[in-house]
C-alpha cells in the first residue's frame, strides 16, 4: 500500500511520540486513575490494598470537616504563594535585565543565578532550609546581633525569619531568570531605537516597550512559579500528605483524596490566572 507524503509525515510524527504516549499512559494515567479510585475507599497499608472497602466521599468530607490540619496548611500554602510569586518574578526580571547589559563576565553572571537549579536537589535545599537567619554569616558577628536587638527589639526573630524566606525564595528564581532572558532576546532592537529617537528615557522604554513585549513570557513565568510553589518538596501540604501516607497513619485512600483536592485547587488557580493575564498579553500580531 502506497502512502501519500502527508500520511508518511503523520506516521513519522506518531512514531516519534509513541514512546512518550506509552510513558504517559504507564507512569501518569495509570497512577492518576488508581489514585482517583483509592480516594473513594478506606485503602491503607495495614489492610488489603487490592480490595479496599468503598466509602464514597467520606475521605473528602474528612478533609474539610474532621481533619484539623489540612485546611490551615492549605491556607498557609496560599499565603506563601501570594508572597513568594511577586518576589520571585520581580527579582528574576531585574536579574534578567541586568544580565543583558553589555559587560564582561556576562555568562558567568548568568551561571551564578542558574546554579541553584542545577544543584538544587531536595537534600541540598533541605539543609539550606534548616539554616536559621541567625546562622547566616551576615548575622554571626556580636555587633550585628546587638545592632538588630537595639533597633528591632522583639521583632528581631520576625526579621530573621523574613531573611530566611527571602533567601529560600531567591534560590528558586533560576528558571524564571532564563525564561525572561529568552524573552528579552526576542524583542526587536528597532523598537528601542524608535523609542529613543522619540526621546523616551530608559524608564519609559521599560514601561512602554520592554514590559508589554514580555507579557507572554510573564504569563509563562507566573504559571511556572505557581506550579513550582505548589509542588515544591518542602510545601506544607505536600509534606502533610506524605506524612499521612507513609509515617503517621499509613493510609492510602485519605491521602489520595487530599491529593485530588489539592490538584483541583492548583488547576483552578492556574487556569484563572492564565485567563486573566492572557487578555492583557501582547503577542505582536493577530492570533
Domain limits, the chain: 39-280
Return the percentage of the chain with pLDDT > 70, whole number: 75
pTM: predicted TM-score of the whole model, two decimal places? 0.76
- Judge contact between 94 and 214, C-beta under 8 A: no
Across 38-42, 144-148, 160-164, 203-207, least confident range: 144-148
Calculate the alpha carbon distances from 163 to 16, 64, 139, 147 in Å: 47, 33, 10, 16
> Best-predicted range by mean pLDDT among 138-142, 143-147, 235-239?
235-239
- pLDDT over threshold 80, residue 169: no
- Judge contact between 136 and 166, C-beta under 8 A: no
- pLDDT over threshold 50, residue 133: no
Burial 28-45 (b: 16+ CB within 10 A, else e): eeeeeeebeebbbbbbbe
CATH of 39-280, one of 1.10.3720.10, 3.10.20.30, 1.10.357.10, 3.90.420.10: 1.10.3720.10
Residues in contact with 134: Cβ distance below 8 Å, sequence separation at least 6, in sequence order: 140, 145, 160
Calculate the alpha carbon distances from 152 to 114, 122, 132, 157, 161 in Å: 34, 33, 17, 9, 13
- pLDDT over threshold 60, residue 130: no
CA-based nearest residue to 42, from 257, 260, 253, 255:
253
- pLDDT over threshold 60, residue 62: yes
Could you give the angle at which helices 70-99 and 253-280 cross, rounded to 10 degrees?
40
Amino acid at each position: 500500500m502506497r502512502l501519500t507524503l502527508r500520511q508518511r509525515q503523520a506516521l513519522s510524527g506518531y512514531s516519534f511520540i509513541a514512546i512518550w504516549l506509552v510513558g504517559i499512559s504507564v507512569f501518569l494515567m495509570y497512577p492518576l486513575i488508581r489514585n482517583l479510585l483509592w480516594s473513594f475507599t478506606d485503602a491503607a497499608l495495614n489492610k488489603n490494598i487490592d480490595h479496599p472497602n468503598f466509602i464514597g466521599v467520606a475521605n473528602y468530607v474528612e478533609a474539610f470537616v474532621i481533619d484539623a490540619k489540612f485546611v490551615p496548611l492549605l491556607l498557609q500554602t496560599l499565603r506563601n504563594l501570594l508572597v513568594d510569586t511577586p518576589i520571585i518574578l520581580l527579582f528574576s526580571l531585574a536579574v534578567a535585565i541586568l544580565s543583558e547589559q553589555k559587560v564582561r563576565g556576562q555568562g558567568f553572571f548568568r551561571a551564578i543565578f542558574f546554579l541553584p537549579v542545577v544543584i538544587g536537589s531536595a537534600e541540598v535545599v533541605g539543609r539550606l532550609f534548616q539554616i536559621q537567619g541567625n546562622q547566616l554569616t551576615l548575622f554571626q558577628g556580636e555587633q550585628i546581633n546587638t545592632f538588630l536587638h537595639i533597633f528591632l527589639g522583639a521583632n528581631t526573630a520576625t526579621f530573621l525569619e523574613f531573611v530566611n524566606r527571602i533567601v529560600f525564595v531567591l534560590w528558586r528564581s533560576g528558571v524564571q531568570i532564563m525564561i525572561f532572558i529568552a524573552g528579552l532576546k526576542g524583542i526587536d532592537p528597532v523598537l528601542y531605537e524608535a523609542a529613543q529617537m522619540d526621546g523616551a528615557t530608559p524608564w519609559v522604554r521599560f514601561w512602554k516597550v520592554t514590559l508589554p513585549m514580555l507579557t507572554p513570557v510573564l504569563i509563562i513565568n507566573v504559571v511556572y512559579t505557581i506550579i513550582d510553589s505548589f509542588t515544591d518538596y518542602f510545601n506544607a501540604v505536600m509534606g502533610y500528605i506524605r506524612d499521612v501516607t507513609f509515617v503517621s497513619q499509613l493510609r492510602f485512600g485519605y491521602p489520595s483524596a487530599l491529593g485530588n483536592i489539592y490538584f483541583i485547587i492548583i488547576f483552578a488557580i492556574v487556569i484563572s490566572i492564565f485567563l486573566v493575564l492572557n487578555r492583557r498579553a501582547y503577542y505582536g500580531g493577530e492570533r
